[in-house]
A and B are shown apart, each in its own frame.
Chain A
Amino acid sequence: MKDSTPARFIFNKNLDARFLDELFDGDAAYAQIVFEDFLRDLPDYWKDVETAYEKQDLNGIRTSIHKCKTLFGYVGFSDIQQLCQEFENSCSGKAIAALESGYQMLVNRKEEARDIIESEYDRLKIFNAADS
């Protein structure tokens, strides 16, 4: 007998799949839109982080990282969200030099995250095209 249960998109293991399943509640089409928005918005948000970092503007770094943190949360990067939070906290009362290793770590994680979401976005497009 053929299984008539609709297929469910399985998120990448690097993402908080349990949270994403609850957030999207099986709506893979909406997940595709959100992942697309993430890929569109992240470069702009990150540009603000870079600009503030170059200017050694601690308050600017803090507020721009805060925006990126929220964005990472909506695509299931709970761990990067936590890293952003720690970095945001460390912007208060520290010299810019003390932030360097944390900043570099975030840059690396941001690159990895973008690659993962690009790949997930492609998979979602295929999944949704097959489903329609």
Chain B
Amino acid sequence: MKITSIIVEDIKIAADFLKKFCDKSGLIEVKGHFENVAGALAYLDDDQVDLIFLDIEMPGATGFDLLDSLTYSPKIILTTSKTEYAFDAFQYNVSDYLKKPFTYNRFLESLQKIVKLVPQADPYPLAQAVGTVSPAPSPASMDMDFLFIKSEDKLVKLVKDDIFFIESMRDYVKFVTSVKNYVTYSTLKALEEKLNGSAFLKVHRSFIVNINKIDDIRGNTIYLKGNRIPIGKGHKDELARRLNIL
């Protein structure tokens, strides 16, 4: 599902670039373009969008006036040619701050932040655009909170949230869950693709963990519901990023 947005920008060239970048990303639907705050607020009275690309200095009211007037909390990307507003932007808790003019690559970096924040956003087009994913995961595997695995002679439904971790066993993988353990014919690589965008993270060449189940981390070891999982050297940075370490 695309992220719905509006553009509030009084400079036509800047607004046109934004529209072009949104179209190119395949991820953002631009519902409207407004050259001033009043027009945007009138639209938002009737229709809510997920994201607002918002210029700050415009004739009449400023972008910050619009933020003060909002009656709900869409994601905001400020677009301005002045860096002096960065502190105010931080105070308004905006998702990102793009200094005009910006390139498509900078725009994509910004979208990556938004995709993580908008629940219904489909991250696949963005992943394709920035080259982080090669094969297309099935839409179902991204949206559903369960998966089916072949175990013995039947298909078993596993609720993703019940899975503690997945361990590689050559051509098989072992699912360790809150209920019992299951072994099925698959690879961690295939599972990584199926679980992309959810709470699962590969932390070692032989382990994918459910980061919501981690109890604590000591040195290079994850302690998870009585299990000890090693952290691979090449996975430390991504783990730190995903855990939101203060």
A residues adjacent to B (C-beta < 8 A): 19, 22-23, 25, 30, 33-34, 37-38, 41, 63, 66-67, 69-71, 73-74, 81, 85
Contacts and interface: CB of A to CB of B under 8 A. Distances in A.
A22 B59 CA distance: 30
A66 B17 contact: no
Given A30-B20, A34-B13, A70 B103 contact: no
A37 B81 contact: no
B193 interface: no
A74 B101 contact: yes
B1 interface: no
A23 B13 CA distance: 13
A125 B203 CA distance: 53
Contact of A70 (B14, B16, B104, B105): B14
A73 B16 contact: no
Nearest to B20: A30
Prevailing SS type, chain A contact patch: helix
B60 to A, nearest CB: 11
Contacts of A25: 104
Contact of B103 (A23, A67, A69, A71): A23
B13 A37 contact: yes
A23 B57 contact: no
A67 B101 contact: no
Interface in B162-210: none
Contacts of B14: 70, 74
Nearest to A30: B20
Nearest to B79: A70
Nearest to A37: B13
A71 B57 CA distance: 14
A67 B10 contact: yes
A37 B12 contact: yes
B82 interface: yes
A74 B17 contact: yes
